[in-house]
A and B are shown apart, each in its own frame.
Chain A
Amino acid sequence: MSKYYLNYLDELESEAIYILREVWAQFQNPVILFSGGKDSILVTHLAKKAFYPSKIPFPLMHVDTGHNFPETIQFRDDIIEELGASLIVGSVQESIDEGRVAEEKGKNATRNALQITTLLDAIESNKIDCAIGGGRRDEEKARAKERFFSHRDDFGQWDPKNQRPELWNLFNGKHFEGEHFRAFPISNWTEMDVWNYIKRENIAIPSLYFAHEREVVWRSNSWIPNSEFLKLEPGEEVVTKKVRFRTLGDITITGGIESDADTLEKIANEVSGMRQTERGNRTDDKRSESAMEDRKRQGYF
C-alpha cells in the first residue's frame, strides 16, 4: 500500500483544521462556543493547530447558565489563560434578572432551554457572524442533518428543510446583516473518535470525565450530582459513588455513570464497550422524540 494516505484520525483532524481556517477567512467576527465539555475543548485544540504559530485569532464564548460544575469554570479560566485568548460570557442569570426569560417551573425544571435566548442575545450584542460549535452528527438524529456551515436567519433560527447544499470542500458562508452561521468542524467525528484523539494527543480535560468519588442521587436512570440546585424528591437519597461523566452539561441535568476509568486509556476502553449513547444520560434529550430538533430550530447549540 502507498504510504501517501492519512489514517482516519489524521483525516478528521485535517478536515477540521480546514473548516476552522475557512471560518476565519470567510467571516468578520467568529467565536468558538466553549462549554468546558470535551467537544469544545477538542475544537479549541484543533484551532490551536489551525493557526499555529499565530494564536487562535478569535475569542471563546461561554453561555453560563449559573448551574455549572465548579470544575468546569476553573478549567475554562485556565485554558483562556494558557491560550492568551479572550473570553465572552453570556449569562443566563442576567437574562433572567432582565426579564428576557423566565425560570422553568415544576419537577424537572432546568435552565437548558433558557440558554437559547442568552446565546442569541450574546451573538447579536457582540456582532458575531459565526459561532463555531462542537456539535457532532453522530450525537442525535437532528444533528445528523447538520451542515459544516449552517445558516441561521435573523431570528437565529435553523430551517432544516431549506439548508444550503454543501458540495466538495466549497463552503458558502455568505449572509446578510443580522444573520449568522454556526460552523461545526468536528461534524464527522464520533464519540469514539473524540476519545481516541484526546488520548493520542494527550489533551487536558476536566477532572469530571475521570472516575471520582461524588455525592449523587439516582434519578432518570443515572447518577445526578448533588449540588445547591438539587431538590430531593420523596424517596430519593444522597449517596457517595465512584462515578464519571460522559458529557458535561448543567450540573442539574448531567447524569454520571458508575465507573473506575481514571485514565484516558481506561476511558477510551470503557467507551468502546458502551452500549448506551452518551446523550442517554442527558435528561434534556429525554423530554420528547424531537427535543433536540425543536431546540435546534429555535437557535440552540
Chain B
Amino acid sequence: MLDTNQLLRFTTAGSVDDGKSTLIGRLLYDSKSIFEDQLEAIENTSKKKGHEGVDLALFTDGLRDEREQGITIDVAYRYFTTPKRKFIIADTPGHIQYTRNMVTGASTANAALILIDARHGVIEQTKRHSFIASLLQIPHIIVCVNKMDLVDFSQEIYSNIITEFEKFSSKLMVKDIRFIPMSALEGDNVVNRSKSMDWYDGAPLLHTLETLHISSDINKVDARFAVQTVLRPQGDTFRDYRGYAGRVNSGIYRPGDEVTVLPSGFTSIIKTIDTLEGTIEEAYAPMSVSITLEDDIDISRGDMIVKSNNKPEPSQDLDIMLCWLNDKPARDRAKYTIKHTTNEQKAMIKEIVYKVDVNTYGRNSEDKSLIMNDIARVKVRTTKPLMAESYRKNRSTGSVILVDDNTNETVAAGMII
C-alpha cells in the first residue's frame, strides 16, 4: 500500500435474506483478504451443513450463539485492504434491534451499503435503512440491487427499483446516492465486472468504494478542539509546559491563530502545536496533538479551544433527534448524564415533541413514550451550556450520548438539530 492511502469506513444494512453476509464474504474473498486456515474452516462447516461449494456467508459468523441460531448479534467489524484503500466494515444485523445496531454502525461511517433483493424490490426495511443513513448523515449511500441472477439480470427490473427508491429518497437529506446491480453469490459487479449485465456501464462495488471522494466529508471550516486532558510534565526540561491534549474535531489550526477558550471566553494565541515527532505547522481533523498557548489560562477537560472569529453558540436548551438504545424506556423528566465531545453535564428530557415512524417517515406527536429503537425529536435542558452545533453542519460537535446514572449504561444517541 502507498503511504497516501486513505481509510474508508462503511456500514452494511440489509434484512435477513437479501444476501448481506454473502456480499461481505464475496468482497473479502475476491479481494483476497481471506486466509487459508479461515477458508478451510468455512469449507468444513459448509460440508457439515450439506451446502454445495463454499458458503461465503459463513465468513461473517461470529459468536457461538450466532452460529447455533444462524443470526448476527450486535455490530461486528471486518477489515480488508486493497492496493488503493484500507476498509473497515461495520456489519450490522438486519433483524433484531436493527435501529440500535444500525445507528451504532452508521455513526462513524463514510458510506452505507443498502441491500435490496431484486426479486422483492423496495420494501419497508429499505426505507428504514435509508432513513437511518440519512439521519446519521452518512455522506455516501450505495444501493446494492442484489440477486440479479434470480431475475435474469433484467435491466427493466433494475430501473424500476431505482425509480421506486428515488420516490422516497428525495425526501431524505443525502448528498450522494449511487445504484449498482449485482449478484453477490455469483460475484457479478462486486469486485469483478458482470458479464451478464452489459447494459450497466457504471463501476463494480469495490471500484466505487476505492474511489469515493471522502476527503471533503470532514468539516474544514469551523475550527473546533475539545480538550481531553492537560499535559504537565515533571522535571526540568519542560518546567513550564502546559499542553492541551486533544484530537482536532474539525477545521484547521496553526501557530499564531487567535483563539477563544469556551466556556470561559478567555482569548489567547496558539504558541505551538506539538507531537512526539516535534512541533508542527498545521493541525487538522482528525489529528491528535497537544496545543500550547501564549497566555497562562485555566483550561481543563471539556473546554473547547476555537478560533476567535468563528465561535459556536453555547446553549443549555437543545433540540435533538434522539434514538433510544436501552431496554429500559426513558423516564419522564428524569435526569441523565449527557456526553458531548469531551464535556459531560446533567440533562433532562423536557419534552418528546414527536416520534418518527422509520418505515413511513410519519410523525406521531401523541405517543409520549420512548422505548428501545424509537427515534424521536426531543427538547433537552442541560445544567450548564454545551458548545453544541447542528449535527448536519458538524458531526463531531453535533452528536451526544445519554448515560443512565443508575445503571451507567449508554441509553440514547442524539443528533443536535
Binding site for B on A (CB under 8 A): 1-2, 4-15, 17-18, 21-22, 24-25, 48-55, 137-138, 141-142, 144-145, 160-161, 163-170, 172, 174-176, 187-188, 190, 192-193, 196, 200, 274-277, 280, 289-290, 293
Distance of A109 Cα from B248 Cα, bound (Å): 49
* A161 and B65 in contact, given A6-B287, A14-B288, A18-B288 (Cβ under 8 angstroms): yes
Tell me the residues in window 274-289 of chain B with beta carbons closer than 8 Å to chain A beta carbons: 274-276, 284, 286-288
A267 to chain B, nearest CB (A): 16
- CB proximity of B118 to chain A, nearest CB, Å: 29
On B, residues with C-beta under 8 Å from A are 1, 3-7, 35-38, 41, 61-65, 67, 73-79, 81, 85-86, 88, 100, 103-104, 107-108, 213-216, 218, 220, 228-229, 231-234, 237-238, 241, 243, 245-247, 252, 274-276, 284, 286-288, 290, 301, 325, 337, 339-340, 342, 395-396, 399-401, 403, 408-410, 413
Whether A53 pairs with B238 at a CB distance below 8 angstroms is yes
Query: Are B63 and A290 in contact, CB atoms less than 8 angstroms apart?
Result: yes
Closest Cβ of chain A: how far from B360's Cβ, in Å? 25
Also in contact, A276 and B36, with CB within 8 A (given A137-B79, A193-B86): yes
Among B62, B216, B288, point to the contact of A21 (Cβ < 8 A): B288
A142 to B62, CA, bound (A): 6
What are 27 A-B residue pairs whose CB atoms fall within 8 Å in the complex?
A5-B215, A6-B287, A7-B4, A8-B86, A10-B287, A11-B286, A21-B228, A53-B231, A53-B243, A55-B234, A137-B77, A141-B61, A141-B63, A142-B63, A144-B76, A161-B74, A165-B410, A166-B104, A166-B410, A168-B107, A169-B396, A170-B399, A172-B401, A172-B409, A174-B403, A192-B81, A275-B35
Q: How far is the CB of A123 from chain B (nearest CB, A)?
A: 18
The contact of A52 among B1, B76, B79, B276, by CB within 8 Å, is B276
Contact between B104 and A167, CB atoms less than 8 A apart? yes
Cα distance, A145 to B76, chains bound together (Å): 5
Alpha-carbon distance A18/B399, docked complex (angstroms): 17
- Kindly provide the distance from the CB of A281 to the nearest chain B CB, expressed in whole angstroms: 10
Tell me how far the C-beta of A241 lies from the nearest C-beta in chain B, rounded to whole angstroms: 21
Q: Do the beta carbons of A14 and B287 come within 8 Å of each other? A: yes
Min CB distance A160 to B, Å, is: 6
Q: Are B37 and A25 in contact (CB under 8 A)?
A: no
Question: How many angstroms between the C-alpha atoms of A46 and B79 in the bound complex?
Answer: 21
Main secondary structure of the interface of B (DSSP, over half): mixed
Residue contact A141 to B62, C-beta cutoff 8 Å: yes
Known contacts A165-B413, A170-B400; can you find 12 more A-B pairs with CB under 8 A? A5-B6, A5-B215, A7-B3, A25-B228, A25-B229, A144-B76, A161-B65, A163-B74, A167-B107, A170-B339, A275-B35, A293-B64
Q: Are A165 and B88 in contact, with the CB atoms below 8 A?
A: no
**Closest beta carbon of chain A to B294's beta carbon, Å:** 18
Residues of B within 8 Å of A174, CB to CB, are 337, 403, 408
Q: Which residues of B contact A187 (CB under 8 A)?
A: 77
- Asked if B7 and A11 make an inter-chain contact with CB atoms under 8 angstroms apart, the answer reads yes
Minimum CB distance partner of B80 in chain A:
A190
Q: Is the CB of B395 within 8 A of A168?
A: yes
**In the complex, are the beta carbons of B107 and A274 less than 8 A apart?**
no
Are A4 and B252 also in contact (CB < 8 A) when A12-B7, A167-B104, A170-B401 are? yes
Cβ A21 vs Cβ B245 within 8 A: yes
What residues of chain A lie closer than 8 Å to B6, measured between beta carbons? 5-8, 11
Contacting B37 at CB < 8 Å: which of A160, A167, A280?
Answer: A280
Q: What chain A residues lie within 8 Å of B61 (beta carbons)?
A: 141
Q: Which residues of B contact A14 (CB under 8 A)?
A: 247, 286-288
- Answer whether A8 and B85 are a contact pair too, CB < 8 Å, given A21-B245, A53-B237: yes
**B73 CB contacts on chain A under 8 angstroms:** 145, 160-161
Provide the residues of chain B in CB contact with A12, threshold 8 Å: 7
Closest chain A CB from B111 CB (angstroms)? 15
Q: Please give, as numbers and ranges, the residues of chain B lying within 8 Å of A141 by CB-CB distance.
A: 61-63
**In the assembly, what is the distance between CA of A52 and CA of B339, in Å?**
26
Q: Which residues of A contact B237 (CB under 8 A)?
A: 53
Complex Cα spacing A12 to B86, Å: 11
Q: Is the CB of A7 within 8 A of B410?
A: no
Q: Determine if B107 and A164 form an interchain contact, defined as CB atoms under 8 angstroms apart.
A: no
Q: How far is the CB of A285 from chain B (nearest CB, A)?
A: 10
Cβ contacts under 8 Å, B214 to chain A: 5
Minimum CB–CB distance for A2 against chain B, Å: 5
Residue on A nearest B249 in the bound complex, by CB:
A169
Q: Which 4 A-B pairs have the closest CB atoms?
A: A17-B288, A174-B408, A8-B7, A167-B107
A265 to chain B minimum Cβ distance, whole angstroms, is 14
**Contact yes or no, A54 B234, CB < 8 A:** yes
**Nearest CB in chain B to that of A278: its residue:** B35
Are A274 and B63 in contact (CB-based, < 8 A)?
no
Taking a contact as CB atoms under 8 Å apart, the answer to whether A167 and B35 are in contact is no
Contact A274/B35 with A18-B288, A165-B410 known, Cβ cut-off 8 Å: yes
Q: Chain B contacts of A166 at CB under 8 A?
A: 104, 410
